[in-house]
């Protein structure tokens, strides 16, 4: 028998430069599913066409499949081979019909890739390489086929049968069974295949497209969840209209179905005409979903819908091009969300997310460019870099081109590559052709990993009225890329006068594309203050010599809301880093700036809530040469306490100002709710005697989950009777709602309390905890491992706990386990003792017999990097 560890020790590396076009195309495929949770029969009929004058056999990928029968042109053959899971069939001609039959067991599929069971229903997930777990097929995105799918199943158990495209026929069968047939006229790669069989009900609506096509929309859920689908359905209609208006993209089938399932490896999947969603991104009502959940639902519904053009009509040639569809589609969904409420707050949230997830990735052992050069397991590359940095790269292109030329260029791209499997290069070239802008050097964003750092220093010569801005850039080495070239950095810049608080120069778009350059501003008659990277125009780290006074000035006067937020964040960061390093810092500048923001009646409460929040422990750690989790925690708590105490009157005024509101899901009401809970957090941080009672009152009186979870989060940081009571009440109220119970686990895993590690260890033995459900695993293990202080407990017990859980999870679901590994790979950022303990856990993982290649790749790269 093959020693699995030996197999892992010599990993199979797939390289981008090795791409060759497929030897065989499959213009049509007919699939026939005889569905059953224990044993499903899959018959596939493929029309295969040789693509050039080669003599190679047909190779059909398979994973865990055994062929029951293989036919060529209607005749059973036995000259095939079964090699590394794939079926190799010698064929003599240029065009054949190949039929195979296999049997699979959905109910035993714990990986949740391929056809699997969730909550008594059957569903599929194929991206990236799950289709090969269903049937033998060339499982690569550049093989596009027209699908016809027939399903038969027990009618009582699976009354609803759905697949891609439009329904074409259905009927009854003997013995209580029934069948349905679906046809998708749009050629697609197999990763977009989907079927669902289940006992589901639909919330239905209609949409008339811009050319007058009538589309029947439906969101399918279990009957009890039907009332929770209104928000997602409305978001779908809004996104369909938005894509017509903003990108000129129209929907193309008669039906659009969405199905929600409880067991899902990530957020949702854009299968053509049949999106399948993690139920957390569909189900919402005021009582069970937070404002954050409502927003995320709309964003994910839009994202998957937008993939119909950026992903499905134009797909990826190979998986190295993943950011072609993901980066662009994230950029599109961010634009959609920005248009639904406050664009400024949306930008702040997106940048916060980028800094929390992508910057550490770019600075660590798993750093990779948005178009990677190699991988072992493609599932490991659905990363913040591909998605979120990918979106920032598209945003920079849009900024450089300007709105009008960008739209011309995207029209050109959609037009030229419709119906094909394209590359990132195809996209960039379309941007160039559509705009006349040369993006030669800009292409480095696709090949170079790492976050560029820009140093900016502004010198004023009062005598000559000149201000000289000196800019320089560098990108630190990343694994496999020791030397970096200067990137193209579009920097939005503006100067303000320190005395008059007026604009000294209008906003300029400066293209920093060399290692260093200078800019001269004339007619600068008073001391200028620099506002740079406004709107976060480039996804970089900016280091300036601006004083605390200048940052405080910008936090009060900058007219770009993002820059205003950023100045405050920088001021807070500088203070926290100083305090964590020296054990003390002067809090006065931060307190004054926060007071100014709280007093500014012209500001949107949602913006105030973002601006007055301290940077996270993790982000403070990212600024330090080595992360000291305890010192950072103490510094942050001390600043929170001071802010709470010294601004007590203001926090209470804002808190009370928002109390009377009834639940409404509008941008204004959301902003007030957010500010209310932020204020409550500061009142509690001040140590005020009435804080637990105040929080408990909010917890009990809440008419929505945002207020209730906000109060719970505040309460469980403390050590009061209210804390225990709130946890019990919450559990008893929502114990039967899996999505809300996830919040109960997650809130405890994120707690700043001293005993969080022990609590989490106990929760892992709770009767409601299971590793089999990815949402639950992420709620406890994933949340705990980003709780910087608890996870990095000096004893190493946090590392050991997470490693134990991931080793267990890997046996069930390698993809979800591997996604949770990166926090253990951050050992270089910590002191020698912690680093040694983390490495020991990584080594233990790598040495685990039977480890998946998903985990092997993540853990071995984390050790080496």
The pair of structure tokens assigned to 584 is 């003390």
From 24-32, 70-78, 328-336, 397-405, span contacting Zn ion (CB under 5 A): 328-336
What tokens does 723 get? 């804390």
Q: Using CB distances below 5 to 8 A depending on partner kind, what does residue 379 bind out of Zn ion, ligand B3K, none? A: ligand B3K
Q: Nearest distance from residue 149's CB to ligand B3K, in Å?
A: 20
Q: Does 326 bind ligand B3K (CB under 6 A)?
A: yes
Q: Is residue 304 near ligand B3K by the rule CB under 6 A?
A: yes
Nearer to ligand B3K, 192 or 611 (CB): 192
State the nearest-atom distance from the C-beta of 382 to ligand B3K, in Å: 4
Per-residue x/- marks for ligand B3K, 212-251, CB under 6 A?
Answer: ----------------------------------------
Calpha distance 75→628 (Å, rounded): 69
Active site residue 181: no
The residue among 269 and 449 lying less far from ligand B3K, judged by its C-beta, is 269
**Virtual torsion, Cα 258, 261, 264, 270, nearest 10 deg:** -10
Count of residues in the chain: 865
Which of 30, 102, 128, 282 is the binder for ligand B3K (CB under 6 A)? 128
- Residue 63 found at the interface with ligand B3K (CB under 6 A): no
Decide which of Zn ion, ligand B3K, none touches 563; Cβ closer than 5 to 8 Å per partner kind.
none
Helix (H) or strand (E) holding 532: strand 528-532
| End-to-end alpha carbon distance in the chain | 31
Q: How far is Cα 549 from Cα 590, in angstroms, rounded to an integer?
A: 10
Count of residues that interact with ligand B3K, criterion CB under 6 A: 12
Let me know if 776 is exposed, middle or buried by CB neighbors in 10 A (0-12, 13-18, 19+): buried
Distance, in Å, from the CA atom of 865 to the CA atom of 366, rounded to the nearest integer, reads 7
For residues 352 and 834, give the distance between their C-alpha atoms in angstroms, rounded to a whole number: 27
**Residue 67 buriedness (CB in 10 A; 0-12 / 13-18 / 19+):** middle
Integer CA distances (angstroms), 458 to 43, 53, 547, in order: 69, 64, 12
604 binds, among ligand B3K, Zn ion, none (CB under 5 to 8 A by kind): none
266 lines the binding site for ligand B3K (CB under 6 A): yes
647 binds, among Zn ion, ligand B3K, none (CB under 5 to 8 A by kind): none
Check residue 328 for interaction with ligand B3K (CB under 6 A).
Answer: no
Cβ distance to ligand B3K smaller for residue 93 or 353: 353
Q: How far is the CB of 329 from Zn ion (least distance, A)?
A: 5
- Span of 192-200, 203-211, 323-331, 405-413 interacting with Zn ion by CB under 5 A: 323-331
Tell me the closest approach of the beta carbon of residue 383 to Zn ion, in angstroms: 12
Classify residue 193 by burial, with Cβ atoms within 10 Å: 0-12, 13-18, 19+.
buried
Q: Does 123 bind ligand B3K (CB under 6 A)?
A: no
Indicate which of Zn ion, ligand B3K, none lies near residue 756 (CB less than 5 to 8 Å, by partner kind).
Answer: none
Nearer to ligand B3K, 378 or 807 (CB): 378
Strand, helix or coil at 451? coil
- Which single residue brings its beta carbon nearest to ligand B3K? 127
Cis amide bond preceding 128, omega within 30: yes
Residues with Cβ within 8 Å of 61's Cβ and at least 6 positions away in sequence, in order, are 85, 86, 129, 132, 136, 137, 138, 139, 140
Binding partner at 263 among ligand B3K, Zn ion, none, C-beta below 5 to 8 Å by kind: none
Question: Closest separation between CB of residue 499 and ligand B3K, Å?
Answer: 50
Q: How far is the CB of 310 from ligand B3K (least distance, A)?
A: 10
Q: Which tokens belong to 212? A: 């007058």
How far apart are the C-alpha atoms of 285 and 297, rounded to whole Å?
A: 11
Active-site residue, from 127, 270, 304, 361: 304
Residue 284 to residue 122: CA distance in whole angstroms: 23
Q: How far apart are CA 279 and CA 287, in angstroms?
A: 16
Q: Of the listed pieces 248-256, 268-276, 414-422, 518-526, which binds ligand B3K according to CB under 6 A?
A: 268-276
Smallest gap from Cβ 192 to Zn ion, in A, equals 12
Whose Cβ is closer to ligand B3K: residue 260's or residue 269's?
A: 269
Which range of residues in 45-53, 318-326, 517-525, 671-679 is near Zn ion by CB under 5 A? Answer: 318-326
- How would you classify the pairing of strands 145-154 and 421-422? unpaired
Segment near Zn ion (CB under 5 A); pick from 70-78, 329-337, 363-371, 676-684: 329-337
Our CB check for Zn ion shows the closer of 324 and 793 to be: 324
Instruction: Name the one range near ligand B3K by CB under 6 A: 161-169, 256-264, 299-307, 696-704.
Output: 299-307
One DSSP character per residue, 708-740 reads HHHHHHHHHTS-SHHHHHHHHHHHHHHTT-HHH
Residues contacting Zn ion: total by CB under 5 A? 2
Do 91 and 72 contact (CB within 8 A), yes or no?
yes
SS3 labels along 211-237: CCCEEEEEEEECHHHHHHHHHHHHHHH
Question: In sequence order, what are the residues at sequence separation of 6 or more whose Cβ sits closer than 8 angstroms to the Cβ of residue 126?
Answer: 113, 114, 134, 190, 191, 192, 193, 194, 269, 271
In this structure, how many other beta carbons lie within 10 angstroms of the beta carbon of residue 577?
Answer: 18
Q: Which stretch binds ligand B3K (CB under 6 A): 2-10, 203-211, 264-272, 443-451?
A: 264-272
Instruction: For Zn ion, give the closer residue by CB, 63 or 326.
Output: 326
Site for ligand B3K in 372-391 (CB under 6 A): 379, 382
Q: Least Å distance between CB 380 and ligand B3K?
A: 9
Does 24 bind ligand B3K (CB under 6 A)? Our answer is no
Which 144-183 residues touch Zn ion, going by CB under 5 A?
none
**Which of residues 127, 293, 560, 610 is near ligand B3K by CB under 6 A?**
127
Q: Which is nearer to Zn ion, 325 or 534 (CB)?
A: 325
* List 59, 117, 260, 269, residue binding ligand B3K (CB under 6 A): 269
Is 580 one of the binding residues for ligand B3K (CB under 6 A)?
A: no
CB of 360 to ligand B3K, least distance (A): 20
- Partner whose footprint covers residue 266, from Zn ion, ligand B3K, none (CB < 5 to 8 Å by kind): ligand B3K
Cα-based torsion angle of the residue sequence 399, 405, 408, 410 in order, rounded to the nearest 10 degrees: -20
Provide φ and ψ at 111, rounded to 5°. -75, -20
Q: Are 571 and 544 in contact (CB under 8 A)?
A: no
For the chain, helix (H) and strand (E) counts, in that order, are 31, 31
Q: Which of 262, 270, 392, 566 binds ligand B3K (CB under 6 A)?
A: 270
Q: Is 366 left (phi over 0), alpha (psi -120 to 50) or beta?
A: alpha
Residue 158: contacted member of ligand B3K, Zn ion, none (CB under 5 to 8 Å, by partner type): none
Residue 607 parent element (H or E): helix 605-611
The answer to the question of residue 303 lying near ligand B3K (CB under 6 A) is yes
Rounded to whole angstroms, the Cα distance separating 134 from 294 reads: 34
- Binding-site ranges for Zn ion (CB under 5 A): 326, 329
Where does this chain bind ligand B3K (CB under 6 A)?
A: 127-128, 266, 268-270, 303-304, 307, 326, 379, 382
Active site residues: 304
């Amino acid at each position: 028998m093959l020693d699995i560890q030996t197999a892992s020790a010599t990993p199979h590396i797939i390289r981008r430069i090795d791409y060759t076009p497929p030897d065989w195309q499959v213009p049509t495929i007919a699939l026939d599913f005889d569905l059953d949770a224990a044993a499903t029969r899959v018959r596939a009929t493929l029309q295969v066409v040789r693509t050039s004058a080669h003599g190679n056999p047909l190779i059909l990928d398979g994973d865990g499949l055994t062929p029951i029968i293989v036919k060529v042109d209607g005749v059973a053959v036995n000259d095939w081979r079964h090699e590394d899971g794939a079926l190799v069939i010698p064929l003599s001609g240029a065009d054949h019909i190949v039929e195979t039959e296999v049997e699979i067991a959905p109910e035993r599929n714990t990986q949740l890739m391929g056809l699997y069971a969730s909550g008594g229903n059957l569903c599929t997930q194929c991206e990236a390489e799950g289709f090969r777990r269903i049937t033998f097929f060339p499982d690569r995105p550049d093989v596009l086929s027209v699908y016809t799918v027939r399903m038969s199943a027990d009618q009582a158990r699976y009354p609803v049968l759905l697949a891609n495209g439009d329904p074409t026929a259905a009927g009854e069968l003997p013995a209580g069974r029934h069948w349905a047939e679906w046809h998708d006229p749009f050629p697609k790669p197999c990763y977009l295949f989907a079927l669902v069989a289940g006992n589901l009900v639909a919330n239905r609506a209609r949409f008339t497209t811009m050319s007058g096509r009538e589309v029947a929309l439906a969101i399918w859920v279990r009957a009890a969840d039907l009332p929770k689908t209104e928000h997602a359905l409305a978001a779908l209609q809004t996104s369909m209209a938005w894509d017509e208006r903003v990108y000129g993209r129209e929907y193309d089938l008669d039906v659009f179905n969405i199905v929600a399932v409880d067991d899902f490896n990530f957020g949702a999947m854009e299968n053509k005409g049949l999106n399948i969603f993690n139920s957390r991104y569909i189900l919402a009502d005021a009582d069970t979903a937070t404002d954050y959940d409502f927003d995320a639902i709309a964003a994910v519904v839009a994202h998957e819908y937008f993939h119909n053009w950026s992903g499905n009509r134009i797909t990826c040639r190979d998986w190295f091009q993943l950011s072609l569809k993901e980066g662009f589609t994230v950029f599109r969904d961010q634009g959609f969300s920005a248009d639904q409420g406050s664009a400024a707050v949306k930008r702040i949230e997106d940048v916060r997310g980028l800094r929390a997830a992508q910057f550490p990735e770019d600075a660590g052992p798993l750093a990779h460019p948005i178009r990677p050069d190699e991988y072992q397991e493609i599932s490991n590359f659905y990363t913040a870099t591909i998605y979120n940095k990918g979106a920032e790269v598209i945003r920079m292109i849009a900024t450089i081109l300007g709105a009008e030329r960008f739209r011309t260029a995207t029209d050109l791209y959609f037009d030229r590559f419709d119906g094909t499997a394209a590359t990132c290069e195809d996209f960039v070239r379309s941007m160039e052709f559509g705009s006349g802008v040369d993006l030669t050097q800009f292409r480095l964003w696709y090949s170079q990993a790492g976050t560029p750092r820009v140093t900016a220093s502004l010198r004023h010569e009062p005598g000559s009225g000149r201000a000289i801005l000196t800019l320089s850039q560098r990108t630190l080495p990343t694994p496999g890329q020791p030397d970096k070239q200067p990137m193209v950095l579009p920097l939005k810049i503006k100067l303000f006068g320190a005395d008059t608080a007026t604009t000294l120069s209008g906003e300029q778009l400066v293209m920093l594309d060399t290692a260093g350059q200078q800019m001269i501003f004339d007619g600068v008659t008073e001391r200028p203050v620099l506002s740079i990277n406004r709107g976060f125009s480039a996804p970089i780290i900016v280091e300036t010599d601006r004083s605390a006074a200048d940052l405080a000035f910008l936090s009060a006067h900058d007219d770009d809301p993002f820059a205003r937020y950023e100045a405050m964040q920088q001021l807070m960061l500088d203070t926290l880093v100083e305090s964590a390093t020296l054990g003390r810092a002067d809090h006065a500048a931060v307190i004054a700036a926060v007071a100014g923001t709280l007093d500014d009646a012209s500001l949107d409460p949602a913006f105030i809530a973002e601006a007055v929040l301290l940077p996270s422990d993790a982000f403070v750690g990212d600024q330090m040469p080595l992360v000291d989790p305890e010192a950072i925690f103490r510094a942050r708590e001390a600043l929170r306490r001071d802010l709470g105490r010294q601004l007590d009157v203001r926090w209470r005024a804002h808190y009370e100002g928002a109390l009377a509101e009834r639940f409404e899901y509008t941008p204004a009401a959301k902003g007030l709710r957010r500010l209310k809970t932020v204020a409550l957090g500061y009142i509690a941080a001040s140590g005020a005697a009435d804080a637990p009672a105040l929080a408990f009152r909010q917890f009990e009186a809440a008419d929505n989950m945002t207020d209730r979870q906000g109060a719970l989060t505040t309460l469980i940081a403390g050590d009061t009777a209210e804390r225990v009571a709130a946890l019990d009440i919450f559990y008893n109220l929502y114990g039967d709602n899996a999505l809300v119970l996830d919040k109960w686990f997650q809130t405890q895993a994120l707690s700043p309390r001293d005993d969080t590690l022990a609590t989490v260890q106990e929760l892992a033995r709770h009767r409601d905890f299971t590793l089999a459900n990815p949402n639950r695993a992420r709620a406890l293990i994933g949340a705990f491992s980003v709780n910087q202080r608890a996870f990095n407990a000096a004893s190493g017990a946090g590392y050991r706990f997470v490693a134990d859980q991931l080793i267990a999870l890997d046996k069930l679901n390698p993809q979800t386990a591997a996604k949770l590994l990166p926090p253990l790979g951050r050992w270089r950022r910590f002191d020698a003792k912690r680093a040694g303990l983390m490495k020991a856990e990584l080594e233990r993982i790598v040495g685990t017999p039977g480890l998946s290649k998903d985990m092997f790749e993540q853990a071995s790269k984390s050790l080496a990097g």
